[in-house]
Amino acid sequence: SAVISQKPSRDICQRGTSLTIQCQVDSQVTMMFWYRQQPGQSLTLIATANQGSEATYESGFVIDKFPISRPNLTFSTLTVSNMSPEDSSIYLCSVGRGVFQETQYFGPGTRLLVL
Amino acid sequence: SQQGEEDPQALSIQEGENATMNCSYKTSINNLQWYRQNSGRGLVHLILIRSNEREKHSGRLRVTLDTSKKSSSLLITASRAADTASYFCATAANTGTASKLTFGTGTRLQVTL
């Protein structure tokens, strides 16, 4: 298993501003994943973050809007830039375990409300 | 979108009853997983079933997989109030370097006393 923490746990932000979410893992991991969960919806993968390389973004998500850092094997940040009310969601990071990172362990999530 | 569908969207049962949730998906998979989410918090992994498996058990959980129908079911037996949560299936296609997960739409389970 893995212990994952996220900061902040929740925030209320004004439109046009940016928020950086931190994800800390208690052990070294190769890949970290960032998901978005819009109100009442399922999870959608934003990007996969490898240490030492650029993050890989899924269709519909771009680096300018969601820049990601991965400075070491236990930490990553996701920034939600130039926020609008449509960005109000829960943002979750996860890490994989197993040969193909099959089982994922999730952080508690960051609940973001944009006014 | 490759997102799978789950049904029912919501399920309300009494404690002690069994709960069955179904998941359908669209593409070939390496494995299918079930996760639980309590009150909009982080997800907890419940069980993983590989594409060459048909049934798997873990405690009160029973998962089946029918790759010909691209469907899976999760059975929770003898439900408890603490089982109240949202349940999501997730499929992994295995890209070779990482198994990106595609989540289903989820089933909200309410277990009442």
Q: A50-101 pLDDT, tens per residue?
A: 888 889 999 999 999 999 999 999 999 999 999 999 999 999 999 987 766 7
Q: Locate the chain A residue with the closest alpha carbon to B104.
A: A42
What per-residue confidence (pLDDT) applies to B98?
63
Contact between A47 and A55 (Cβ < 8 Å) = yes
CB contacts, 8 Å: A43 with chain B: 43, 88, 101, 103
Q: Which residues contact A98 (CB under 8 A, 6 or more apart)?
A: none
A66/A79 Cα distance (integer angstroms):
5
Residue B14: count of CB within 10 angstroms of its CB: 11
**Of the candidates B41, B45, B94, which has its C-beta nearest A100's C-beta?**
B94
Please give, one letter per residue, the 3-state secondary structure of A42-100. Answer: CEEEEEEEECCCCCEECCCCCCCCCCEEEEECCEEEEEECCCCHHHCEEEEEEEEECCC
B10 touches chain A (CB under 8 A): no
CB contacts, 8 Å: B47 with chain A: none
A17/chain B closest Cα distance in angstroms: 24
Return the exposure string of A23-60: e unless at least 16 CB atoms fall within 10 Å of the residue's CB, then b.
Answer: bebeeebebbbbbbbeeeebbbbbbbbbbeeebbbeee
A113 touches chain B (CB under 8 A): no
CB contacts, 8 Å: A40 with chain B: none
| A45-54, A97-106, B9-18: the lowest-pLDDT one | A97-106
Contact between A9 and A107 (Cβ < 8 Å) = no
How wide is the angle at C-alpha B71 spanned by C-alphas B67 and B72, nearest 5°?
Answer: 105
Q: Which residues contact B60 (CB under 8 A, 6 or more apart)?
A: B76, B77, B78
pLDDT exceeds 70 at position B72: yes
B104 touches chain A (CB under 8 A): yes
Residue A48: phi and psi, rounded to 5, are: -110, 130
pLDDT exceeds 70 at position B56: yes
Residue A15: phi and psi, rounded to 5, are: -60, 145
Q: How confident is the model at residue A23 (pLDDT cuts 50, 70, 90)?
A: very high
A61 touches chain B (CB under 8 A): no
pLDDT exceeds 90 at position B73: yes
